[in-house]
Amino acid sequence: MSDNCIFCKIASGELPAKKVYEDDDCVAFHDINPAAPVHLLLIPKKHVCSLADIKDEDAPWLGRMVVLAQKLAFENGCTPGHDGGFRLVANTGREGGQEVDHLHFHILGGPRPWQKRAAPAA
Ligand code: AMP
Ligand code: ZN
């Protein structure tokens, strides 16, 4: 837990969020300002600033989060199959567009067009 980190506070329950999933390692909740019909944030409970801070020993829980991401995407409204899908985004650092300094994956999906904000053109 890092002081004054909003995502640590959401993970601990100190701040409210529309949670869709929680286990020992991570929490998923709806983004407060959705950029797509489905826009979830998946965060580790452990305070890690960004993907730039990941160490070899973080691989197990990080791998589990990536496996979990596709499950959460389809359980929460993303369209399955080749014509559906979703986008998994981890903005990293200021030049990477990161605003909240607690590692998070955006899970974005649903029928297009989406807003451009959190899903910049590839
Ligand atoms: P990023 O620019 O990758 O750091 O994205 C931060 C995301 O967190 C943005 O999409 C915000 O809309 C979202 N966000 C900020 N505060 C909250 C909150 N209290 N609950 C849910 N989502 C939030
Ligand atoms: Zn944090």
Q: Residue 19 pairs with which residues in a beta bridge?
A: 29
Residue 118 has pLDDT above 70, yes or no: no
Q: Are 8 and 48 in contact (CB under 8 A)?
A: no
Residue 120, pLDDT > 80, answer no
83 assigned to some structural domain = yes
Domain count, the chain: 1
Q: Is the pTM of this model over 0.85?
A: yes
Residue 122 CA to residue 112 CA, distance in Å, equals 15
Residue 122 inside a domain? The answer is no
39, 102, 104, 106: the catalytic one is 104
Beta bridge partners of 42: 28, 105
**Collapsing DSSP states into helix, strand and coil, what is residue 83?**
coil
Q: Which of 10, 20, 33 to mutate to test the pocket of ligand 1 (most atoms within 8 A of CB)?
A: 33
pLDDT, tens only, 43-70: 999 999 999 999 999 999 999 999 999 9
CATH number at residue 61: 3.30.428.10
Active site (annotated) includes residue 104: yes
Please check the confidence at residue 37 and state whether its pLDDT lies above 70: yes
- Give the residue numbers spanning the domain of 93: 6-109
- Residue 4 tokens read as 């004054």
69-107 pLDDT tens trace: 999 999 999 999 999 999 999 999 999 999 999 999 999
* Banded pLDDT at 1 (limits 50, 70, 90): confident
| Ligand 1 atom closest to residue 117's alpha carbon, by position in its atom list | 10
